[in-house]
Structure 1
């Protein structure tokens, strides 16, 4: 992507304290963004590290704490962009999971797990778009929304059944809102596969993560375990002027993992 794709953009990234959210925030700053609103739920110290990285790229960093599962917090997060008069790009990156990788063990998850995951991964993204809608429509070009979905929602795999289901719902919602919010707002989604970030360390022992990384490298057509920066580049593309005629799309960014699954082989 050419330098300057985000020249003078105002960008809001939820879940931006670490991992993919941080990588997106830094990438848009590197591409010329004027301001990056950095949302975090709990990790204030890590969010400050993200802010420092963003400002080192020349953008103004604005930190705002809030849980996207809470509608009042979503309105507070969006309001952080009001001094700039607009939001050019919203990255709905905040997400949570419950680690229960044996999908056949139906007692490993509960109705509460489903509700907690949907509250952040689906309802939270909806509430953020609703809270930011007026600012997304206020700019000189259509506002762009990029939802972080997952290959789990496409293939029914991943950390747990509730997680895969929530990401499938987010992908469907992306299509619905792309239709409903056009022509003033574009809505797209990325579906990453394995991302080599500390996120997995929250629910898995290091030995298992290492095995997963090695298995990913061995099994993917591109022989790679994606980094946050690898995925961020694709997310940023979907919010950039380069994709100005793209809406309602789901971009699988998994180094080709999905190619090994027969139902997807004929897509």
Structure 2
């Protein structure tokens, strides 16, 4: 049996969806994990139980990444428990669903609330974890969206917040090298509860059908698909930093080309 200490991952917003799938994958690969939630306590406890079943030691902490004190408290608890942080996954996210036909839903308060979690919360978690990530020669993975790369998504403030996250990823990759690698994953449509809660089941089914009809690979990502990419960026991508990895089934290519007959 190896005497090496288990590596430690801090994963925000890890009660459900991509965050929970990432925590479970890392738990099964020998990591200890922080399970963080803001509202979904029952789901967070289920995620924690699954990670423990996979062999991980876990911490379960409620915390709002928009609050700097919560970010620092989570990091302090992790370091007190395990003495190290090897990876930070900034997965906590927030949106509103409203397009150009619903401008009244997109007031300044919507921007403030979304930026507070998606952009400021990401920065605050990086700042709190940074001394420990440097000591471990660790890495950061920001869970962004094709919204920030292509200018499409659930709402203008969400799109803008993910664009800001992408720009911050590039800046941090430069400024924290060579001690800490910083990358982002940019999923397209993900088959998670988050989308269903935003637009309802019928709305989600319509969006999913439309996405899969156009995307070159013809399929939306599952939370596990995104977790696969995050795990690779953490464990396997030793020469990769400053990457904005598009996980959109090829949607950024402009949609599926017409088939050209060969005969």
Mapped contact 1:7–1:32 kept (Cα < 8 A)? no
Unaligned runs of 5+ in 1: 262-267
| Match for residue 172 of structure 1 among 167, 174, 187 | 167
Instruction: Give me the TM-score of the superposition, normalised by structure 1.
Output: 0.91
Q: Which runs of 5+ in 2 are unaligned?
A: 256-263
Aligned twin of 1:128: 125
Q: Is the counterpart of residue 196 in structure 1 residue 191 in structure 2?
A: yes
What is residue 150 of structure 1 aligned with on the other side? 145
Matched-pair contact (CA < 8 Å) for 1:118–1:166: yes
Work out which of the residue numbers 86, 89, 92 in structure 2 matches 1:91.
Answer: 89
Whose radius of gyration is greater, 1 or 2? 2
Segment drifting more, 103-112 vs 9-18: 103-112
Measure the CA separation in 2 of the matches of 1:7 and 1:243. Answer: 21
Q: Deviations over 1:134-170 (max 9, x none)?
A: 111222xx21100001001111111000000000000
Counterpart of 1:264?
none
Distance 2:173 2:24 in 1: 26
Task: Report if aligned partners of 1:7, 1:31 keep a CA contact under 8 Å in 2.
Answer: no
Deviation at 1:103, TM superposition (A): 3.0
Give 1:265's aligned residue.
Answer: none
- TM-score, scaled to structure 2: 0.92
Contact 1:68 1:120 in 2 (8 A): yes
Residues 1:61 and 2:55 aligned together: no
1:80 paired residue number: 77
> Deviations 1:80-135 (Å, cap 9, x if unpaired)?
221312111100000000110x2354333011111111000000000000001111
Name 2:204's counterpart in structure 1.
209
CA RMSD of aligned residues (A): 1.7
What does residue 242 of structure 2 align with?
A: 248
Secondary structure at the aligned position of 1:126 is classed as helix
Per-residue CA deviation, residues 172-218 of structure 1 (Å, 9 max, x unaligned), is: 00011111111211111000000001101222121111111111222
1:224, CA displacement in angstroms?
0.9
- Alpha-carbon distance, 1:223 to partner: 1.2
Counterpart in 2 of 1:111? 108
- CA distance in 2 between partners of 1:203 and 1:191 (Å): 19
Hey, what does 1:17 align to over in structure 2? Answer: 15
Question: Greater CA deviation, 105-114 or 181-190?
Answer: 105-114
For 2:178 and 2:220, the matched residues in 1 are separated by 36
Q: How does 1:224-243 map to 2 (within 5 A)?
A: 224-240=219-235, 242-243=236-237
* Distance in 2 separating the partners of 1:108 and 1:89: 36
Aligned length: 253
Q: Output the CA distance in 1 between the equivalents of 2:247 and 2:29.
A: 21
Alignment of 1:37 with 2:72, yes or no, is no
Distance 2:124 2:223 in 1: 25
Q: Evaluate the alpha carbon distance shift between residue 201 and residue 96 of structure 1 in structure 2; reply closer, same or farther with a 3 A threshold.
A: same
